[in-house]
Amino acid sequence: MILPNRLKEGDKIGIVAPAGPPNREKVNKSLSFFEQLGLRVHIGNYLYDERGYLSAGDEQRLEDFHEMIADRSIKAIFFARGGYGSARIVDHLDMNLIGNNPKIIWGYSDITYLHTAIRQATGLVTFHGPMAASDIVKADFDRFSGQLFKQLFEPTELIYSEKVSPLYVYTNGTAKGEVVGGNLSLLVSSMGTSYEIDTKNKLLLIEDIGEEPYRVDSMLNQLRLAGKLEDAAGIIVGDFADAEPTVQPSLSLTDVFEDYFRPLRKPVIGGFKIGHCFPHFSLPLGVVAELSSESKSLTIDSGVR
C-alpha cells in the first residue's frame, strides 16, 4: 500500500477528464471551491476537446493524465466528471510512471475503472469522491461533503455512523479489510479482463445510478457467480440513485439486496451516502477499514501521509 503525500496550502492541483466531456462553465465555477481550500489549479490541455461522448480522443485524454502524473509540481489530480471512457485508456496507463510518482487521485463513477486498475497494479491509495465539474458546482452540494476534502490535508481516521445517515443491516458481523470497489456497473464491466476486481478479504463498496432493480439483480448475480461476493470480507452498500423500476411487475431494490446479501456469512450494511448523492461521503480506496453491524459503523484509516 502506497499512501500519497498530504496537500498543503498553496499546492497546485490538476483537473483532467478521462471520460465524458465537462461543461466549461461548470469547471470555471469549481475553481473557486479549490481556491477556498488554498489550492492553485492547472487545467489539462485537452479538457475541452470534445469527441462525441468523450472529452477528447483517447490519446489526448491519456496524455493529459500522464502529464499531470509526471509533473512533480502537481500534488493531486481531480477528475472533472464521469460518464464513459475511462476503460478505453486503462490498458495504456503507464503504471510505472504512476507508481513512481504517487499523488492524490480523486473521483468516482466511471473513474472506478481507473481506481481499480491503478490500485491493483501499484498499491497506490486513491480517493472516491465528488467530481469537480459535475458535483461540487451543484446547488445541493452541501457543507459536510465539502468538509470531507479536508482529509487530504491531514491524516484523518474517518468514521461513518448513523450520525451521517440511517444504516440498514442486511447481515450481522464485524470485518476488517481494504476498501475496494465503487460503481457496480463498472466493476461488472471489468469482469474477465486484466482489471477484474480482487475482493479476497476486502470490504467491497458498491454504488450506482439509473439502474433499475432487474439490472442491479443481474449485476449482483454476475458478481455472485464469479465468487466476488463470497470472497469479500464484508460489503458496503452505497447509494443507488434513480433506481425506481419502470417495468412492472418488479422487485424492489431492497428485495434484490436481501436476496443476494442475506445468505452471506459476513457483515453487509446499506444506507451509506456514498455515490451519486448528497451528502457525498468521500473516502480513500485501498486503506484498511472496519465494518461493524454491532455499532452500525464504518471506520476508515487515513488515506494520506
92 DSSP 8-state letter = G
Q: Which of 47, 104, 108 is nearest to 76 (CA)?
A: 104
pLDDT at 46: 97
Q: Helix (H, G, I), strand (E, B), or coil: what is residue 59?
A: helix
Active-site residue, selected from the candidate residues 66, 115, 128, 276: 276
Q: Under CATH, what is the fold of the domain 158-300?
A: Glucose Oxidase; domain 1 (3.50.30)
- Name the CATH superfamily housing domain 12-141: Murein tetrapeptidase LD-carboxypeptidase, N-terminal domain (3.40.50.10740)
pLDDT at 247: 85
Separation of alpha carbons 12 and 5, rounded Å: 13
Separation of alpha carbons 191 and 210, rounded Å: 21
Active-site residue, selected from the candidate residues 109, 145, 189, 282: 109
211 a catalytic residue: no
Active-site residue, selected from the candidate residues 207, 211, 212, 290: 207
Task: Provide the edge-to-edge strand list for the sheet that holds 104-107.
Answer: 40-43, 12-16, 74-79, 104-107, 126-128, 283-285
User: Which ranges of the chain have pLDDT less than 70?
Assistant: none
Is this model's pTM higher than 0.95 or not? yes
Q: Which amino acid is at 51?
A: R
| Radius of gyration, alpha carbons of the chain | 18
Separation of alpha carbons 207 and 53, rounded Å: 22
pLDDT digits (tens, 9 = 90+) for 184-201: 999 999 999 999 999 999
73 a catalytic residue: no
How does DSSP assign 230-274, residue by residue?
A: HH-SEEEEEEEET---SSSS---HHHHHHHHHTT-SS-EEE----
Q: Which of 246, 250, 185 is nearest to 216 (CA)?
A: 185
pLDDT at 85: 98
User: CA angle, corner 206, sides to 142 and 44, nearest 5?
Assistant: 60
pLDDT digits (tens, 9 = 90+) for 122-152: 999 999 999 999 999 999 999 999 999 999 9
109 a catalytic residue: yes
pLDDT digits (tens, 9 = 90+) for 214-234: 999 999 999 999 999 999 999
Domain ranges for the chain, please list them: 12-141, 158-300
